Chains A and B, each alone.
Chain A
Amino acid sequence: MTRCVVGSIELTYGPMSDHALRRTTPQAGPTTTDERESPTAVRLEDVTHEYGSSGGRGRSSEDRTVTALRDVTLEVGAGETVGLEGPSGSGKSTILHAVSGLLVPTAGRIQVLDTADLTSLSDRERTRLRRHHVGIVFQRFHLLPSLSARANVALPLVQAGIDRSTRRQRAESLLEQVGLGDRTDHSPGELSGGERQRVAIARALVTDPDVIVADEPTGELDTATGADVLDLLTDIGRDRTVLVASHDDATLAVADRVVTLRDGRVVDDGR
């Protein structure tokens, strides 16, 4: 076991093993413990979002708009893995972006963990919430090509103000756990698609978030590589809340339940 002290907090790293991404017994402060005990990790209430509107809530717009979500209400329990399925344009990605605070819906309320309504937070507060509590996995990985795998994984910790040696240690530990311990110095251009997605998953996990959102995580991968990535997601999902949007049945099969969307509406919440 490796021990590391960050400020007044002692971190314990387990021995290196592939896909060992589950959390140990939570030891964090009272807020985090409360979050763990909360039965609902993500809640959307009557969420409507129109692209192309002027952006402000309650404002009307004469622009041509596309309604991506219509009165979506959804609850995801802590530790639950929920799949989002539906045809293109059905609102899957919009839900993930709204949960991660990358967009503010035109109407409705979104609550992540026990925070205030996400739509009432400032940009800065939503960025902070995302940094500490939400990890995002994109279909196209979106790694920074000029940084090494380790630096890509450690990136969220830079903004969190974690010192360099702890960043490196944490990033190397996660890369080890996703099976890329020997690729830490490689740039994304030197990695295969599956390896890049593993790096992206390690980056999403580096701040130890409570919620992971994954948008078509296997969309760019072949079947075998996709299966490896799904193993990782399954591992992650054992004690985190995971929302995964996909067209792919194999990907959706890792979910505890699958929510079906059509034209921005929930037609089946999978319960």
Chain B
Amino acid sequence: MAGDDRFETTTAGSRRARWWGVLTVSVVRLWKRATGTKSRRLAATTAAVALTIALLIVVTGIALGLADGATVDRDDADVRVAPAESDSLAAVDGVEKSQLGEANARAERIRNGDGVDHASPVLVEPVALESADGESKRILLVGVVPDDESRTVAGLPTDELESGDPHYADGSYGGPRRGEIVLSAAAADRLEVEAGDELTPGGERLPDGAAPSSTVAAVETAGDGEAETPVALIHLSELQTLSGAADGELADQVLVWGDGAAAESAAADAYPEATVQSVDRTNPASLFEDELAFATSLLALIVGVAICASFVATTMGMTVNEDRRTLAVLESVGFTTRSRLAIVAVSTLLTTVCGALVGVALGAGGIYAVNRIASATIAPGAVAELHPLFVPYAVGVALVAGLVAVPYPLVVAARTSVLTEVGR
């Protein structure tokens, strides 16, 4: 019979292998318990952290939305296509700005691209408008092609206009006019009109006879602060006809909504010579510039850490309490106190991080829901914004909460009596 081997453990081990082994045991135990057994406490910890982090993400997203609302370009497009900076053809620089040609047709092509939700040329023209009983006032008219979704252009909601642009009629500009106009509050004040009133273009730039009236569909706050610009939205082709930009289907820029990379690619295909820019609207640094947003996000952070730490401490304390026998067995096979506590700490922090990742996903869903509800009720567009930095932020917050909470499960673990547990 072959004999057993001599196995020397007193000199063969290394510190690195020990800690790596302790980490592996912690992770494997946690994984097996999470997937193979019914550990309700583990699920409770993860769920508690996830819900807290989701709340933190939603509140921070709203704060970011608040902060960005004052500083962003006043549309919510994901990609902007603008004429490339080039040597001006005009003899006097600045007299005539560069514009995009065939904007309507090319925007249609972009719209049909994969991952693109919508694309609209935008033409901006200062036009004198007058109400039935008022004098002519110059307003910045912005021509857009609206769709069914609520989008923001020039700080105004496009969904107050009828969807589509029928007057364009495949380039003939002979389709029916909608005759709608959405005014900013400043523009309505200046013209002294309200929703339902008629406005007639006037002034020296209008072609003869091209003075169809428009009905004020809505008056909206453009959201650019006290010095609000007198601006108005109308259907693109109607402004093109009005301003003479119908020849060549000119527009100042094309805005694209949809998946950033796909929208950028579709726009670049349609306009290889133009400048295509992805819009990074959500700038977390803006949180520090807006006092209300900063206070909101700071409060969410403090509340989030406090609640998260309380949940983690309580549930992990209970988990460790249930797990006393395992800790006793580890002690009986020679695990030092430090190693046993390391297993508890790793389990606690890992559970917290997993909860944080689930929380980010829930938070993203929460932001989507908040935006949907806000759009359907009180706001013209998105009120909360999601940023990729939210992922490390959430994990960082959860780790801090876990570190705040970890002493309690450690105390429970350290007070485990090996004889009481293995004697049962």
- A contacts, CB < 8 Å to B: 1, 6-9, 11-15, 17, 20-24, 26-29, 32, 93, 97, 100, 102-103, 123-124, 127-128, 130-132, 136, 138, 140, 142-147, 151, 155-164, 166-167, 170, 173, 177, 187, 203, 205-208
Contact = CB atoms under 8 A, between A and B. Distances in A.
Contacts of A130: 332-334
Interface stretch (B3-11, B90-98, B157-165): B3-11
Contacts of B4: 14, 20-24, 177, 205, 208
Interface in B7-40: 7-18, 20-22, 24-25, 28-29, 32-33, 36-37
Residue among A123, A146, A173, A187 with max Cβ neighbours from chain B (10 Å): A146
Contacts of A128: 334, 336
Contact of B332 (A23, A28, A142, A157): A142
Given A131-B334, A136-B333, A164 B13 contact: no
B88 interface: no
Given A155-B330, A160-B12, A14 B6 contact: no
Residue among B20, B37, B329 with max Cβ neighbours from chain A (10 Å): B329
A20 B17 contact: no
Contact of B6 (A20, A23, A100, A131): A23
Interface in B313-331: 325-326, 328-331
A138 to B, nearest CB: 6
Given A23-B5, A146-B36, 13 more contacts: A14-B3, A14-B5, A22-B4, A24-B4, A26-B6, A146-B29, A151-B28, A155-B25, A155-B330, A158-B25, A159-B18, A160-B334, A161-B16
Contact of A159 (B5, B37, B333): B333
Residue among A13, A160, A187, A207 with max Cβ neighbours from chain B (10 Å): A160
B354 interface: no
Contacts of A146: 28-29, 32-33, 36-37
A207 B333 CA distance: 10
B339 interface: yes
A24 B7 CA distance: 11
A164 B21 contact: yes
B422 interface: yes
A155 to B, nearest CB: 5
Interface of B: 1-18, 20-22, 24-25, 28-29, 32-33, 36-37, 325-326, 328-337, 339, 418-419, 422-424
B326 to A, nearest CB: 6
15 contacts: A11-B7, A13-B5, A22-B3, A102-B418, A138-B422, A142-B422, A144-B29, A145-B37, A146-B28, A158-B24, A162-B9, A164-B20, A166-B12, A208-B5, A208-B8
Q: Nearest 8 CB-CB pairs, A to B?
A: A161-B13, A131-B334, A14-B2, A158-B21, A161-B18, A24-B3, A208-B7, A146-B32
A128 B338 CA distance: 13
A178 to B, nearest CB: 11
Contacts of A124: 336-337
Contacts of B1: 17, 20, 22
Nearest to B30: A146
Given A130-B332, A160-B9, A160-B334, A20 B21 contact: no
Contact of B7 (A143, A155, A207): A207
Given A127-B331, A146-B37, A160-B13, A11 B6 contact: yes
Contacts of B24: 158, 164
Contacts of A22: 1, 3-4
Contacts of A131: 9, 333-334
Q: How would you classify the secondary structure of chain B's contact residues: helix, strand, loop or mixed?
A: helix
A100 B419 CA distance: 11
B6 A158 contact: no
A237 to B, nearest CB: 13
A164 B336 CA distance: 19
Nearest to B9: A160
A74 B337 CA distance: 30
A177 B4 CA distance: 9
Given A93-B423, A103-B419, A147-B25, A142 B329 contact: yes
Nearest to B423: A93
B17 A164 contact: yes
A74 B62 CA distance: 74
A136 B37 CA distance: 27
B423 to A, nearest CB: 7
A161 B14 CA distance: 5
B21 A167 contact: yes
Contacts of A138: 332, 422
Given A6-B12, A146-B36, A147-B32, A207 B3 contact: no
Residue among A14, A131, A158, A173 with max Cβ neighbours from chain B (10 Å): A158
A131 B331 CA distance: 9
A158 B37 CA distance: 24
Contacts of B5: 11-14, 23-24, 173, 208
Contacts of A1: 2
B56 to A, nearest CB: 31
Contact of A136 (B332, B337, B339): B332
Contacts of A157: 9, 13, 21
A102 B422 CA distance: 10
B65 to A, nearest CB: 44
Contacts of A97: 419
A97 to B, nearest CB: 6
A90 B210 CA distance: 112
Contact of B11 (A9, A12, A158, A187): A9
Contacts of B325: 142
A224 B418 CA distance: 31
B423 A147 contact: no
Contacts of B20: 164
Contacts of B419: 97, 102-103
Contacts of B29: 144, 146-147
